[in-house]
Amino acid sequence: MKVFILVFSCLLAHWSFGQDYLTNFSPSTSYLVCGRTQTGRGAFDSAQGFLCVNGKSKLYYEYTPIDSLQLGTDALITFQGFTNSGMSTAINTSYRLFGPFEQTQNYSYLIETNSVIPISTGSNTTSSHSLSDFFVGNKKYVLEITANACVGYINFENSNYLQQCLKEIPCDNCLPKFQPVDDRYIISAWVKEATGSTTGALNYTNSQLKVTSGSNVYTFYPSGQIIDGWQRIEGIIQTNSAGNLKMELIVSSGTSYFDDIRVFPYDGSMMTYVYDPVTLRLMAELDERNYAKIYEYDEEGKLVRVKKETEKGIMTIQENRENSSTND
């Protein structure tokens, strides 16, 4: 079953089962898009804030298909305009379909300034319109419907299709999309195999870290000393902004544990810190090579020992002892 999801940046999705309505918008202003599976009917009325110019209303609907599909075969989108909710009298409608747009493209400006050519159009008619275009997955498409009325209804019929109701919310606290710039990065992690060796210089053989960035594919394996059952993975990758950055933790057999996974620029450095969630004491510092400096405390919370992970194992670099005596 092919499924559509309408996606808007910084928008909140919710269902609207209690009523059927579709609201238009000017591409440069806020808007609301609603619909239903199978058959959806939406009202537009210039008295309710809909823009109507020279007796014509324009309504816009945005589609972002998850997968590529051919409309008219795998999925069906048809629509028709009416003067009343009973759909007894049809009104003239025409349409223009724009796309595909990238997720970050300002398609509103392009449509409003006539800077983009529609990929398909439908002439002015009282009959229903059916889309028969090919939609590319994860691209944006905008359907512009022009109804020759200031008040009326648009009836949608959809098969194998899901259309959600979305409304705009403030985007002050939205997190931007993470996309590393084209550059070299150092990637590292620690791995522990449940059935592997815990000491010595042997390498774990069942674990690997795979990174894919566009057409670049990297695979890294554990190497170096096994310290307290953990062995380090480290490598250098070149990112490619033309594709997604994907990281895979692969275990060929058995059980493996991964920890302290880090990525940072090749010409930079990185320090990370570990705190006790209850006492909030600093428990460890991890340096630019992902080796830990470990802090140990006594029952009174006083620092008694500092240890350092190295390529040769764990070494004690500082130790504090306090003795108190009483005079009888």
d(CA 188, CA 220): 9
Q: How many Å separate Cα 140 from the centre of its chain?
A: 15
CA-closest candidate to residue 60, choices 24, 10, 21, 6: 24
d(CA 23, CA 29): 12
Asked if the model's pLDDT at residue 213 lies above 70, the reply is yes
To the question of pTM greater than 0.75 for the whole model, the response is: no
pLDDT at 10: 23
CA-closest candidate to residue 154, choices 184, 126, 122, 194: 126
- Mean pLDDT value across residues 292-309: 92
pLDDT at 63: 76
CA-closest candidate to residue 158, choices 42, 58, 43, 57: 42
User: For residue 169, what pLDDT band results from cuts at 50, 70 and 90?
Assistant: low
Q: Find out whether 109 and 88 touch, Cβ atoms under 8 Å.
A: no
β-partners of residue 63 are: 141
What is the average pLDDT value for the chain, to the nearest integer?
Answer: 77
Region of poorest pLDDT, from 58-62, 229-233, 244-248: 58-62
- Mean pLDDT value across residues 294-299: 92
Instruction: Tell me phi and psi for residue 120, to 5 degrees.
Output: -160, 155
